[in-house]
Amino acid sequence: MSCALPVSDRPLWSQAITWLILGFIFYALPWSVFAAEPTTLMRIQGSNTIGAKLGPALISGLFQSQGFSNVRIVPAGAENEQLVQAEDQLGRTLQVSVAAHGSGTGFVGLQDGSADLAASSRPIKDSEASALQNLGDLKGADAEQVIAIDGLAIIVNPQNPLVSLTTEQLAKAFSGEVRDWSQLGGAPGAITIYARDDKSGTYDTFKELVLAAHDKSLAPTAKRFESSDQLSDLVSQDPGGIGFIGLPYVRQSKALAIADGNSQPMPPSTTLIATEDYPLSRRLFLYNPPGTPNEWVKSLVQFAHSPAGQAIVEKNGFIAQTVQAVNVQANTTMPADYRQLADEAQRLSVNFRFQEGSATLDNKAQRDIERVLDYLKRHDKLSHKVVLVGFGDPKNDPERAALLSKLRAMAVRRDLSKGGVIFREITGMGEQMPVAANSGDEGRMKNRRVEVWVY
């Protein structure tokens, strides 16, 4: 039989020791033991390219900018799902959930209410925008947020002797029409195809830029993956492997230079992807319903566009939209005027592009106007230091092509002039120096561009 006394029947000194011990335990344990369940601030669904690393990194940066402590990224209990958690100044645990199962799932999440923000590595499709029209115009500047530029790298085993391929050769290889490396100019050996899964925006982009552009479909024998890291690692270990992947996931594999149409082979370099000249460059998006009442959604979007957010983009291996001046190596394939420009001036790491079938700047270009103005002001280049060079796609009349390309440059001039820029020269080069094939709408849109050069 126990002889222990109730606390109230013990001597006062014994009761005091008991309460001291209980008090020590209470204050020594972390506050989270006694805290309520974490408060979920927002739910992000969509692209694995964004959700695997970049999305959580941006959320962590936002939390830190708000002065939150103990910021950490933890598994959410399912593959490719994570929680970004932190404690606010009152000790409450706050979190954002990130589910990275492919771009298409983000738009489904917006539609069924399971997501507050969609992450996508491709533009929203017309069918998706139509299904979400009750939330507002998801294609508008208030909803479509370009947070980074990425390039689809075509990767092979490091010992593969090939250095470049055309998009047509890629289409034949990934469709299974070409089955041996010797047919592509490489060493004999069977080609093994590695591809992202059907829900992936990376796959959607590859399908549009490579397969559909050449009327091909992915071979049924392709090995499919939801994880970018896993795909890349397997290609790097397979002498016959070839795959496509977002730029930060090249890892131990070898990336090839790519040519499209009449363009020169281009490696997935930082500058060529930043200007979107690289044939397989793409934009990474956040889509937020316009007028969303969720202030954390608005805060994350603003943070992603900020210099601090773009620094995180760069740190995670993607291409930031920070404007920089770069030297361009002149060569004999360039028109004489352009070659002189390359010798004397520097090109800014941004191209202005336009909405489909319109002379209106697209959503990214509208933000780039502010970025370019900021660069010109900080470097004292507002007066007679800027040259705009317009390009376009082929027309029956070369003079008409040159005129239209100059008119595009004039459209950019109009918006930059509002910021006080006085230009040195504005010119149009028509269909010269294409960066993509003109056989499809996507290629023609890429060729309709305006470059910015500074003296």
Domain-embedded: residue 128: no
For the chain, percent of residues with pLDDT exceeding 70? 90
Question: Which residues, at least 6 apart from 395, have a Cβ–Cβ distance to it below 8 Å?
Answer: 401, 404, 430, 431
Residues 448 and 351 in one domain: yes
Residues 244 and 331 in one domain: no
Strands of the sheet with 386-391, listed across from one edge = 325-326, 346-353, 449-454, 386-391, 425-428
What's the confidence (pLDDT) of residue 1? 46
CB 320 within 8 A of CB 313: yes
**Cα–Cα distance, 269 to 26 (Å, whole number):** 56
Model pLDDT for residues 405-434, shown as the tens digit of each residue: 899 999 999 999 999 999 999 999 988 888
C-alpha span between 81 and 74 (Å, rounded): 9
d(CA 404, CA 171): 32
Shortest CA distance to 155 belongs to which of 128, 189, 192?
192
pLDDT digits (tens, 9 = 90+) for 299-342: 999 999 999 999 999 999 899 999 999 999 998 889 999 999 99
How sure is the predictor about 273, in pLDDT bands with cuts at 50, 70 and 90?
very high
Per residue in 306-317, pLDDT tens? Answer: 999 999 999 998
Task: Give residues with Cβ within 8 angstroms of 307, minimum separation 6.
Answer: 322
Number of domains in the chain: 2
- Do 344 and 446 reside in the same domain of the chain? yes
Q: Do 329 and 449 lie in a common domain? A: yes
Pick left, alpha or beta for residue 340 (phi over 0 → left; psi -120 to 50 → alpha; otherwise beta): alpha
In a domain, 241, yes or no: yes
Q: Are residues 414 and 339 in the same domain?
A: yes
Indicate whether 143 belongs to any domain. no
Whether residues 334 and 435 fall in one domain = yes
Q: Taking a C-beta distance cutoff of 8 angstroms, is the pair 388, 413 a contact?
A: yes
Mean pLDDT, range 24-31, rounded to an integer: 55
Q: Are residues 187 and 255 in the same domain?
A: yes
Do the domain assignments include residue 397?
yes
Q: What is the pLDDT of residue 28?
A: 57
pLDDT of residue 33: 47
Looking at residue 190, its pLDDT comes to: 98
Percent over 90 (pLDDT), the chain: 75
Question: pTM for this one?
Answer: 0.79
Predicted confidence (pLDDT) at residue 34 exceeds the cutoff of 60: no
Same domain, 349 and 442: yes
Domain boundary among 257, 274, 291: 274
| Amino acid 241: pLDDT | 98
CATH number of residue 201's parent domain: 3.40.190.10
- Strand residue runs (E) in 226-366: 241-246, 254-255, 257-259, 281-287, 325-326, 346-353
Task: Report the pLDDT value the prediction gives residue 3, as an integer from 0 to 100.
Answer: 46
Same domain, 225 and 348: no
pLDDT tier at 392, thresholds 50, 70, 90: confident
Query: At residue 240, does pLDDT exceed 70?
Result: yes
Q: Domain check: are 159 and 217 in the same one?
A: yes
266 and 364 in a single domain? The answer is no
Q: Give mean pLDDT, residues 168-194.
A: 97
d(CA 131, CA 124): 11
442 found inside a domain: yes
Find the CATH number of the domain harbouring 427: 3.30.1330.60
pLDDT at 125: 95
Q: What is the 3-state secondary structure (H, E, C) of 80-131?
A: CEEEEEEECCCCCEEEEEEECCCHHHHHHHHHHCCCCEEEECCCCCHHHHHH
Domain hosting residue 253, numbered range:
150-274
pLDDT above 80 for 4: no
Cα-based torsion angle of the residue sequence 160, 164, 168, 172 in order, rounded to the nearest 10 degrees: 0
Contacts for 310 with CB less than 8 Å, ≥ 6 apart: 148, 304, 320, 321, 322
pLDDT at residue 138 above 70? yes
pLDDT at site 413? 96
Asked if residue 31 has pLDDT above 80, the reply is no
Question: Is residue 21 situated within a structural domain?
Answer: no
Residue in 194, 205, 102, 198 with CA at minimum distance from that of residue 151: 205
87: β partners: 69, 93
Mean pLDDT score across all residues of the chain = 90
